[in-house]
Structure 1
């Protein structure tokens, strides 16, 4: 197994630590791989840097040269937890300017946006300086490059909750949904923001249901908005069947000829919920729900026919569909 070339990371003018006069007092410490079946073919630069890194760790040296060495080490392997941990120890020991470190890690993040360790390092630095002023912009840039970057979203949610930065966040996420209504991360973030700030009051629920239904109309096969709608109903004592806005929307969409599996699944749940509440025409609701399940099983989602028939058989028992047919086995 061959390691990537280090020339791009350390530069063509790289000087080996073994050739640096100010490192002559350190005996490099080689990695003991214990006779591996397939040895990793590390580049000479990688071997050089990490041999000296292991040496200073063993000595517990926390110096300016150790800080420079950790910088070279993370450039070669930004996923190495031990290097980042030791770098933090050196930063603290030397009382370094942590804002300079935030600039350094920002550059690493934009090169390694899905690397957990670089985001973790940044989070700890933000905790140390107790200052989140750069974080929304850093995560915004990362999200614009990749809207599904889990680490960027996680960092953004952490910093918002930790420093109470909810203001204007709904506008941010709404723009993302306008750009891509199927952005599941944006829908998840919208739920997170409301749930942790204002909460789902009656007024907010009404507005959110209207917002969600409007976006469902734009893309009726979009699983994200349907799941968000289901999440909203969890905060509504009326349930699905008791919310006239939702039931009328579903019936109107179904009457128009729409056969989205998400729509039919929701109507099945509405039928089951109505039956469980003991409405006068409960038997009719159950039969309708079963008919929709059969349609799903035979025409719309036949790969999960056993699941839909299971739901049909147990409709009167209040068993709900998952609302996410892609996750049903």
Structure 2
């Protein structure tokens, strides 16, 4: 048996007995007709199925369903034969419906599509159905990307990812696919508007904050004007929920693009100090204040004694009150700052 055929198993990216989740649907076809085993189909009489070979001493023998075994036995036979036909294409569809995580089946399907010169728009429709049923399956997204690359048209990809985000706004595979489509086909025109919409719906959406940084990095870059704009945008978001880590992380990423003092951008120090004086002492605020003071101590050695004292006080409050679960970490930061900036 060829090595490719041996790879057509069901252990790829699945924790469930293969065929189990689709067992009911196989009793009746999607068109309402009863499932017919491949071994009973006249048009497949010329093919001798190839059983899976787990060796003489399999550690764990998986109890495959009968339809699953039937489909994959015929798929292995087709791969061994090297058949690139319409019926083999339909066979891969049944195999994918049973286990969409099987990379080898997707790869063989692409080989057939190429050979037949199949309608790739129709394949996009099939792929979309598979993505909507398996939104966190890497193999499905990878297949979609390959087909879009063959077509040279990414116009449908933003809408597709938006559909997925409406179900799960933090789907990593969808975000990765969206960024690929944006970068490959230069579709950035309205991306910041879309990110704004997501953040209006959920200001805690860390994926949207990440997308905002990605979009600016790929377009205007963090110029002085953009940095000022983004600082004000993020300050407004933080004001809504001060104990929200996502915008604080974004703010830290924005100010890292500054050439001068971080605290001078958008009056950040005064803004932080005001929140602190008003009692909004979230761990994220205090940590950001430490960053600002560390930056000032590096740039202004004459202010080190006063600023270091304040830094150590903040570390102590984090260790004993606001972030006690990371107490030892803040003790370490105290020692590190004292070593770097102490007399």
| TM-score w.r.t. length of structure 1 | 0.94
Provide closer, same or farther for how the CA distance between residues 251 and 95 of structure 1 changes in structure 2, counting only shifts above 3 A: same
- Equivalent of residue 45 in structure 2, options 24, 29, 37: 24
Q: 2:76 aligns with which of 26, 49, 54?
A: 54
8 Å CA contact retained: 1:296, 1:308: yes
Deviation at 1:268, TM superposition (A): 1.5
Q: Does 1:95 align with 2:117?
A: yes
Q: Note if contact 2:48-2:77 (Cα within 8 Å) is conserved in structure 1.
A: yes
Judge conservation of contact 2:72–2:95 (CA < 8 Å) in 1: yes
In 2 relative to 1, CA 260–138 (structure 1 residues): closer, same or farther, beyond 3 Å? same
| CA displacement, residues 244-293 of structure 1 (integer Å, 9 cap, x when unaligned) | 52111111111111110011011112222222223533201100000010
**Secondary structure of 2:170's partner?**
coil
- 2:219 aligned to which of 189, 192, 197: 197
> Aligned in 2, Cα 1:196/1:250: closer, same or farther, shift over 3 Å?
same
Structure 1: gaps (5+ residues) = 320-329
Partner of 1:262: 284
Whether 1:83 and 2:105 are equivalent positions in the alignment is yes
| Alpha-carbon offset, residue 239 of structure 1 | 3.9
| SS of corresponding position for 1:241 | coil
Q: Does 1:15 align with 2:49?
A: no
Q: Please give the per-residue CA displacement for 1:140-165, whole angstroms capped at 9, x wherever unaligned.
A: 00011101100000000000000000
The answer for the alignment partner of 1:178 in structure 2 is 200
* Separation of aligned partners in 2, 1:287 and 1:279: 14
Residue in structure 2 matched with residue 218 of structure 1 by the alignment: 240
1:105 aligns with 2:127: yes
Q: Which residue of 2 aligns with 1:290?
A: 312
- Are residue 308 (structure 1) and residue 308 (structure 2) matched? no
Deviation at 1:133, TM superposition (A): 1.4
SS in structure 2 of the partner of residue 39 of structure 1: coil
CA contact 1:273–1:318 (8 Å) conserved in 2: no
Q: Does 1:67 align with 2:83?
A: no
Aligned residues: 319
Structure 2: how far apart are the matches of 1:2 and 1:73? Answer: 14
Deviation at 1:309, TM superposition (A): 1.5
The question of whether the paired residues in 2 share the 8 Å contact of 1:297 and 1:305 is answered with yes
User: CA RMSD for the aligned pairs?
Assistant: 1.5
Q: Any unmatched runs of 5+ in structure 2?
A: 1-15, 29-33
- Report deviation, 1:234: 1.3
Q: Is the 8 A contact 1:147 1:183 kept in 2?
A: yes
1:325 — aligned with what? none
1:6 Cα deviation from its structure 2 partner: 3.0
CA contact (8 A) 2:228 2:266 kept: no
Q: Relative to 1, partners in 2 of residues 1:98 and 1:217: Cα closer, same or farther, differing over 3 Å?
A: same
Contact 1:6 1:43 in 2 (8 A): no
Question: Does the 8 Å CA contact 1:114/1:149 hold for their aligned counterparts?
Answer: yes
Task: Find the residue that maps to 1:314 and give its secondary structure.
Answer: helix
Q: CA deviation at 1:91?
A: 0.6
Q: CA deviation at 1:312?
A: 1.4
Tell whether the 8 Å contact from 2:100 to 2:139 is kept in structure 1 after alignment: yes
